[in-house]
Amino acid sequence: MEILTAAHTDVGIQKETNQDSLCVKISETSVGKVMLAVICDGMGGLAKGEVASASVIQAFSKWFEDELPEQLVNQDWDDIEYRWERIIKEQNQRIATYGRKVKMNLGTTLTALLLVDSKFMLIGHVGDSRAYRLDTNIHQLTEDQTVVAQAVRQGTLTVEQARNDPRRNVLLQCIGASKLVQAEFIRGRAGAGEVYVLCSDGFRHVLTDVEIFQAFDPEKLQDEVTMEKRAVEMVELVKERQETDNISVLVVKIQ
């Protein structure tokens, strides 16, 4: 299995600092090619959101380097998910402790994707960053953990009303600012020809699913240069539409 990746992040048109953080790691292992992609959207005054998002990225990056190789020997997928859950809870406590120390609320969303060749896929999710799968259509894999998205699921708001609701950025939970964090986990397997898109909410607020699919249609993404070009073009389009948040997108193509 071959894995192509591209990522692009931008401070946007209004904010002074980029509080989004992301990473992509790929390794050849005894069980095949393994890839970790993580995107975090930090929040907090005086750029402290950047501290929160970077802390979570570093924790997952360290896990990939130090712990995953041994876990792959046993191919114990339950153990990997358990360890991710522990990392999230540890980071929640660590960031909260730091926040109390500097007398500031800070936190971060998390959307992480792990591919272990064609054998296993794991997504871990907290907040309102998103993961999509694109094949012949676009599928939103994660659920937004926001007040507005919850209202849509409960039937008290329509999708159209939710799009312009002033509470659309109010999170139900995030890492560092919630007493307890319950991450959403999704398991599966990745197939050849699929594209996975991870993005911060700043990327997708002013885009439709159709536009995201057209930009990252698996049939049109034949190499990383094209993927990078499309990512940059879409971020620039988001800025033209006056999105005020930081903007980040990460694209993964399975060959």
pLDDT over 80 at 200, yes or no: yes
pLDDT over 70 at 214, yes or no: yes
Please name which of 238, 239, 235 lies closest in space to residue 249, comparing C-alpha atoms. 235
Cα gap 125→123, rounded to integer Å: 6
- The predicted pLDDT at position 46 comes to 64
| Architecture (CATH level 2) of domain 3-254 | 4-Layer Sandwich (3.60)
Most confident of 148-152, 159-163, 215-219: 215-219
Per DSSP, 219 falls in state G
Query: pLDDT tens, 83-107?
Result: 999 999 999 999 999 999 999 999 9
Give the pTM: 0.96
Domain boundaries, the chain: 3-254
pLDDT over 80 at 233, yes or no: yes
Query: pLDDT tens, 106-141?
Result: 999 999 999 999 999 999 999 999 999 999 999 999
- The predicted pLDDT at position 167 comes to 85
Q: Which tokens sit at 4? A: 């192509």
Q: What is the mean pLDDT of the chain?
A: 95
Give yes or no for a contact between 243 and 8, defined as CB atoms under 8 angstroms apart: no
Strands (DSSP E) found in 70-146: 106-108, 110-116, 120-126, 130-134, 138-140
* 110-137 b/e (C-beta count within 10 Å ≥ 16 → b): bbbbbbbbeebbbbbbbbbbbbbbbeee
> Region 11-30: what's the mean pLDDT?
96
Query: pLDDT tens, 37-85?
Result: 999 999 987 678 999 999 999 999 999 999 999 999 999 999 999 999 9
